[in-house]
Chains A and B, each alone.
Chain A
């Protein structure tokens, strides 16, 4: 591991100043992904700016009836927070479905959003990888891609984004608050992450030196019911093979509105807009849910070893919607 300088500022302004626009400086949250990747040699910053004291670590109600979650809030605290459990139980579920109790106590909201892919080639510096070393190729395409993308991938990269929390935030339409050398701005989820295209080394739309300061949740939708479900290879402490986050509003047996996101199927938390469009105004029946899932997955381009994920995504989505509808 390359030696690095360590700073621990206590304010956002100090953190931004310590970082500037340098790509040699990285923010450190809980370190559960970054320290691992540094040890593996995947990234080797010359300076770490620990933002666990600088980034806000509170959960506050906004004047509009939503919640503002500081980027420094630990995942465990987020899932246990009464306001989150009350108004956004799907988000609590997604967070609790991820990693382990120890890791959730360490991981921050900002770091969770910006964790890197679990693609095995990305993590192995003895292998080529366009995401880690642009232009070297993508061995996953012809190699092990069982758990990689079925939607939105490119010739240069078929990686998936591993965060469960981000899938719930995408379905909720959360706003990510960012501050950086160029000022402050807000990025609506799922717009934080980007598809790989020709630049798979860029996971997100953030510019160098930009810090996530908070995530803002819109007010809970009256009449909306929500759920996060995750299919994985073992019952606990395992990354998603496919996940679904959905908010459904049914009125008189008809879908009034819905917001759906799929996880572990793409380079981004995948907002299922085609399925949403197919569902709005449709009868809330399992048949229609299946039709909506098919509309979404018509765009799927599975790879030889992950064909099963298309059927898995369909079944999981139909199950989640049916459960949400039946509970009325």
Chain B
């Protein structure tokens, strides 16, 4: 067992409770013994030497620790390691394949979507999650109320005060899978709002994601 996870523990407290488990990270299996209190973020950084995910706030407020669990973006600082032993985890280190950059990584470079780079791994994993969510037709708060093909009043969100409210009785969404959501700047900004950038690289980040989404 190498490294010291940096969750702080009270020395006077009763003995830690540890669990042996296998973590699947970036297509590799890691056998680890973890304290039940340990977060996925601390395990990745402290034990697996996967230091891409960053600890910005440790409270779910900044998104720097974002990773994908079963392909969905989550904050690893509020995820207990013991709770994901049966899941598939992808970190920024595993985003690309076969040594090649992920298209988002390439676009981030092309668009100068970073300055210090601290938030970047979280931005990239979050953006990968956004692309998947939009492709699956998930709405955001700024998605128009009536997505293409839907009934006049169905679905959608309240962002635009001028938009007509919808009718709960109008069950008019078409059957079948929802249409993918087109990711314009407003959609990207809303969907990425869980990722803060202290350097203010937002314009580049939005442009990079928009390019990959096209």
Contact = CB atoms under 8 A, between A and B. Distances in A.
A228 B158 contact: yes
Contacts of B10: 1-2
Contacts of A92: 139, 155, 157
B74 interface: yes
A12 interface: no
A114 interface: no
Interface string A98-109: 011111011000
Interface string B181-195: 000000001111111
B78 A327 contact: no
Contacts of A223: 167, 169
Contacts of B32: none
B15 interface: yes
Contacts of A102: 60, 63, 66, 73-75, 126, 129, 194
Nearest to A80: B138
A121 B76 CA distance: 26
Interface in A253-281: none
Interface residues of B, number: 65
A85 B181 CA distance: 14
B154 interface: yes
B137 to A, nearest CB: 7
Main secondary structure of the interface of A (DSSP, over half): mixed
A128 B155 CA distance: 44
Interface string B112-156: 000000000000001001100100111111000100000101111
B169 A93 contact: no
Interface string B71-100: 011110011101100000000000000000
B14 A6 contact: no
A85 B179 CA distance: 13
Interface string A217-243: 000111111111100000111000000
Nearest to A50: B83
Nearest to A97: B141
B136 A80 contact: yes
A2 B35 CA distance: 11
Q: Most chain-B Cβ atoms within 10 A of its Cβ — which of A6, A93, A96?
A: A96
B60 A103 contact: yes
B58 A39 contact: yes
A27 interface: no
Interface residues of A, number: 57
A225 B167 contact: yes
Given A96-B140, A100-B194, A31 B161 contact: no
B83 A327 contact: no
A50 to B, nearest CB: 6
B173 A85 contact: yes
Contacts of A237: 193-194
B37 A4 contact: yes
Contacts of B165: 225-227, 323-324, 327
Interface in A1-16: 1-6, 8
A41 to B, nearest CB: 9
Contacts of B141: 93, 96-97, 236
Nearest to B122: A102
A222 B169 contact: yes
B164 interface: yes
27 contacts: A1-B37, A3-B13, A6-B80, A30-B78, A39-B7, A48-B36, A48-B80, A50-B83, A76-B138, A80-B136, A85-B155, A85-B156, A86-B151, A86-B170, A86-B171, A89-B145, A92-B155, A92-B157, A93-B141, A100-B63, A100-B195, A102-B74, A102-B75, A106-B78, A224-B167, A225-B165, A324-B165
